[in-house]
Structure 1
């Protein structure tokens, strides 16, 4: 039994698998919350603040890789993939996208529980993911992908949001152009700095941010950008 009850979110569209895991995990003292699709799972991850997430890749509304990608935009919660997909390419893709471990179905429950314990040991006590970053009048809500300024929601493109979210996750620190380009456009675009300049320009317009006297986004010449802390 666990002495400090951890919460585990199971995202799987098979009711029998969820029931089996719920019984097995509850018997070890864990609190279990469930979701039958990716959309519900992301919402539960934001609201339930689980200590560990068990994720199936074959979900009815969105692929598990997409769930993982969205989750990693705002949460570092450990993720254990549980899937019938046994190919090496699937495992590599999941691990490269931020999964912490990968178990294939059918699986042995004792090995599964051992992997759960190992991942939970890596979670530092009291270290919960930051879901909302607020800098003065600017607020970035990672869970719902919302940005507001002075209480009014701002409409951003996917790339604009991705750049701002990356800067917000590292508020007060410089994020290099190469890192932003690699993370948002992919490793083949690390030299395409004009993409980034255009997006940052649009962001500044929408945030009413003067590049000569920035409230929010500072340019570190030849290096990258920094979201100023207030």
Structure 2
């Protein structure tokens, strides 16, 4: 299963370049226009494998964002790469002192970015960060063994149901557009009706014991798509 990367970058063109480049290398990417937006999407039960933070951003800059990540228990060891247009030594020192794992200065090459991301992810894997097993509430998904447990019971899922659940869980708390889900689970050349997605969501809900009216896990986000939530956080919100 692809590693999950969060990007915070206020420049739309650079953020799009980062996202498209990393997705082309097989990573799952979520991007944000400032550090606070990224922090708001951090779910303790479903952390990204890496964050990439631009230093100069509105609302909350990269150094402030990194500082807050390092203060939180669940993200204290979350791998982070700092990105900035500045070449001042003091910015590098401040980032590294706050716990950044690496530093890259704009403009940068695609191969350099890929190399640095791979290196940081390799180091974090040696540090024992789980990459294949996700647990949210009583649901455990093991992408290595391709199994899902709810409590002690193994759920019988189809291949598409497993891929759909994995995508939702790895992006827990984030509303995924229907088109994005169809593209990533069924493929970019998929031309079927979106009703196929609704049918698989309905089947997943049944197997999870989820109620569409008052869901514990999979919520419908009107006019957008679906998102997976921790059970304690499903009360209220977007509606079913």
TM-score normalised by L of structure 2: 0.50
In the other structure, the counterpart of 1:172 is none
1:184-203, aligned counterparts within 5 Å?
A: none
In the other structure, the counterpart of 2:66 is 68
In the other structure, the counterpart of 1:77 is 78
Report the count of equivalent residues. Answer: 125
In the other structure, the counterpart of 1:53 is 51
Alpha-carbon distance in 1 for matches of 2:6, 2:110? 17
Answer whether contact 1:9 1:45 (CA < 8 A) is retained.
Answer: no
In the alignment, does 2:115 pair up with 1:114?
yes
Following TM superposition, by how much is the alpha carbon of 1:111 offset from its aligned partner in structure 2, in angstroms?
0.6
In the other structure, the counterpart of 1:36 is 33
Larger Rg: 1
- Rate the CA distance shift 1:92–1:126 in 2: closer, same or farther, 3 A: closer
Following TM superposition, by how much is the alpha carbon of 1:83 offset from its aligned partner in structure 2, in angstroms?
0.6
- Rate the CA distance shift 1:101–1:6 in 2: closer, same or farther, 3 A: same
Alpha-carbon distance in 2 for matches of 1:63, 1:19? 18
Following TM superposition, by how much is the alpha carbon of 1:116 offset from its aligned partner in structure 2, in angstroms?
0.2
SS at match of 1:45: coil
Alpha-carbon distance in 1 for matches of 2:103, 2:129? 25
For structure 2, the 5+ residue unaligned runs are 132-240
Q: Deviations over 1:199-223 (max 9, x none)?
A: xxxxxxxxxxxxxxxxxxxxxxxxx
Following TM superposition, by how much is the alpha carbon of 1:50 offset from its aligned partner in structure 2, in angstroms?
0.7
TM-score normalised by L of structure 1: 0.52
Answer whether contact 2:34 2:61 (CA < 8 A) is retained.
Answer: no
1:157-176, aligned counterparts within 5 Å?
A: none
